[in-house]
């Protein structure tokens, strides 16, 4: 359960005096997520989500994250809206943590997504990329190649505890990605964590995107590769070509990938698999036993990384040839 910081009713009520949200009637911690502490609040008006920002969220980035949600919502993308405080600020402090109130988004995340859902995710991702083009703030991706190296330095010495030979394998993977990482592809604001638990559906209809706390400026196709990793593998580790095809087609129906982006997909997917492997490995090695959070398995992403190493063309992800030759 991701409630790292607990709150008292008195402190919460005090915090809410800074907002025009009605009277608090109940609140409870949300047993999902691994990054921040989240609470569902009921008031005499609309339900709200309270987020307390934890270790990986730098307070200096909050204007970017919260401003981006406002920007995307104003552009017609369904995502939570941060509530302004009475003084106009978008966040305050609660229990010693930076904290914000955001609107409650209706819907559920899908435990067993099908190809039709992957198509909707592809479309929504592309819409977000287009809508982010005129967002005025920027934030470099702290979890790209240089950030991976820093993370790796913190885990490398203990990596073989997780699997023998890992230290050597990941070090050489990082060297390879460092030497071959694409630089000249279309860039803009990316979500950077569009996993299943961050996409809500009402029935089969996508009702919105949440959790913009890794959003940053980076290669747009890198975000597509993150979604291929997050949405198109089955529990047994097999890549589902039908889902991959649907996700890429959905994306391209809104924003076609160009030739350079298509050619780069395999290396981008290697990089994004490594990114999630590294954060999971770090958490795996450092989260104390008994912490109230479900640790995510780094080896899932090691297997995905190894899969991507074998890929020679984006057609193996389900990209159809006509598109490839047409672009």
Residue from 186, 260, 258 nearest 218 by CA = 186
- The partner in contact with residue 269, picked from ligand ATP, ligand HSE, none with C-beta cut-offs of 5 to 8 angstroms by kind, is none
CB 215 within 8 A of CB 192: yes
Beta strands per DSSP E along 118-224:
187-190, 199-202, 205-209, 216-219
Size of the site for ligand ATP (CB under 6 A): 20
The reply on whether position 71 binds ligand HSE by CB under 6 A is no
276 binds ligand HSE (CB under 6 A): yes
35 near ligand HSE (CB under 6 A): yes
Binding flags for ligand ATP, 12-51, as an x/- string (CB under 6 A): ------------------x-xxxxx-x----------x--
Select from 71-79, 124-132, 133-141, 272-280 the region that touches ligand HSE (CB under 6 A): 272-280
Q: Do residues 252 and 317 make contact, with C-beta atoms less than 8 angstroms apart?
A: no
Q: Which of 2, 3, 16, 34 binds ligand HSE (CB under 6 A)?
A: 34
Which residue's structure tokens are 């398995």?
A: 297
Q: How far apart are the first and last CA of the chain?
A: 45
Please, what is the angle between helix 259-286 and helix 220-231, to 10°? 60
- Two tokens, residue 108: 């559920």
**Residue of 4, 109, 195, 282 interacting with ligand HSE (CB under 6 A):** 195
Query: Is residue 192 within the footprint of ligand ATP (CB under 6 A)?
Result: no
What's the chain's Rg over C-alpha atoms?
20
Minimum CB distance to ligand HSE, residue 76 (Å): 25
Q: How far apart are CA 156 and CA 150, in angstroms?
A: 10
The partner in contact with residue 280, picked from ligand HSE, ligand ATP, none with C-beta cut-offs of 5 to 8 angstroms by kind, is ligand HSE
Residue nearest to ligand HSE (CB): 195
Strands (E), 71-226: 92-94, 97-103, 187-190, 199-202, 205-209, 216-219
Interface with ligand HSE (CB under 6 A), residue from 120, 193, 218, 223: 193
Which residues contribute to the site for ligand HSE (CB under 6 A)?
A: 34-35, 193, 195, 276, 279-280, 296
Which residues contribute to the site for ligand ATP (CB under 6 A)?
A: 2, 30, 32-36, 38, 49, 80, 102, 104-105, 193, 195, 197-198, 210-211, 213
């Amino acid at each position: 359960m991701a409630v790292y910081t607990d709150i008292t009713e008195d402190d919460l009520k005090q915090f809410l005096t800074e907002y025009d949200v009605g009277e608090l009637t109940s609140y409870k911690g949300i047993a999902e997520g691994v990054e921040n502490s989240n609470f569902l609040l009921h008031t005499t008006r609309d339900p709200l989500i309270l987020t307390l920002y934890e270790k990986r969220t730098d307070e200096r980035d909050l204007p970017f994250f919260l401003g981006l949600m406002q920007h995307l919502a104003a552009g017609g993308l369904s995502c939570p809206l941060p509530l302004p405080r009475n003084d106009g600020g978008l966040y305050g402090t609660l229990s010693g943590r930076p904290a914000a109130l955001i609107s409650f988004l209706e819907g559920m995340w899908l435990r067993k997504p099908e190809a039709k859902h992957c198509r909707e995710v592809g479309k929504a991702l592309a819409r977000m990329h287009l809508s982010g083009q005129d967002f005025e703030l920027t934030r470099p991706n702290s979890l790209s190649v240089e950030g991976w190296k820093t993370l790796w330095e913190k885990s490398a010495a203990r990596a073989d505890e997780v699997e023998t030979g890992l230290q050597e394998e990941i070090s050489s993977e990082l060297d390879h990605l460092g030497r071959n990482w694409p630089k000249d592809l279309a860039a803009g604001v990316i979500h950077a964590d569009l996993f299943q638990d961050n996409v809500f559906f009402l029935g089969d209809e996508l009702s919105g995107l949440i959790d913009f706390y890794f959003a940053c400026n980076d290669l747009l196709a890198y975000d597509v590769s993150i979604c291929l990793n997050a949405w198109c593998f089955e529990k047994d580790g097999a890549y589902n070509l039908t889902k991959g095809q649907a996700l890429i087609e959905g994306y391209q129906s809104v924003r076609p990938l160009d030739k350079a982006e298509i050619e780069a997909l395999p290396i981008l997917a290697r990089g994004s698999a490594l990114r999630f492997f590294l954060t999971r490995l770090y958490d795996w090695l450092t989260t104390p036993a008994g912490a109230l959070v479900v640790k995510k398995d780094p080896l899932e992403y090691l297997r995905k990384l190894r899969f991507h190493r074998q890929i020679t063309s984006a057609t193996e992800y389900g990209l159809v040839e006509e598109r490839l030759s047409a672009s």
